[in-house]
Amino acid sequence: TSASAASTVARFCQRLGFDGYRQFRAAVIAALGYDDARLGEFDLGEGEIDAGDAPEEIAAKIAFQEVRAIQATMAALDLDATARAAAALGGARRIVLYGAGSSSLTAQDLCQKLARIGRPAVAETDVHLALSRAALLDADSVLVGVSSR
């Protein structure tokens, strides 16, 4: 069973895009080392906010998490899809944005940013109003649904 377990681990690593277990292990070590380096950059012992943290520790931990989120976004970003979305927004006669709960804040923020560059957009936070607006959209319109988990 030891040989079959090793081959299972190797196949798993290959499905993740690595040549094998050694390359996977090196990537994990590098990733952990990278986070440790970022923690050192922000002068943090650990990244979680604790009730007893001083204001400067809280600010540093938030900065660390924001940098980490931006890096994760960049790593996962599909640049072709982003370019297509930008082109659609740039050519739209009408833009409807929809977000519920905390996602509505993101939709409203995007609506304001689009208004600053002269793009006709409206942000809906009520699902019924969003559905009514969506039903009236045509081929020259874009509907953007926002979900920030």
Asked whether the predicted pLDDT for residue 4 surpasses 70, the reply is: no
Between vectors from CA 91 to CA 129 and to CA 79, what angle results, nearest 5°?
Answer: 95
Q: How far is CA 136 from the centre of its chain?
A: 30
pLDDT of residue 103: 94
Q: What is the mean pLDDT of the chain?
A: 85
pLDDT of residue 140: 94
Q: Where are the domains of the chain?
A: 2-76, 79-146
Asked whether the predicted pLDDT for residue 6 surpasses 50, the reply is: yes
Give 103-141 pLDDT, tens digit per residue: 999 999 999 999 999 998 999 999 999 999 999 999 999
| Measured distance CA(73)–CA(85) in Å, rounded | 16
Q: Across residues 29-43, what is the average pLDDT?
A: 62
pLDDT of residue 2: 61
Give 48-79 pLDDT, tens digit per residue: 888 888 888 888 888 888 888 888 888 888 99
| Measured distance CA(94)–CA(143) in Å, rounded | 9
The tokens for 74 are 């960049």
CB atoms within 10 A of CB 95: 21
pLDDT of residue 136: 93
Q: Across residues 72-99, what is the average pLDDT?
A: 93
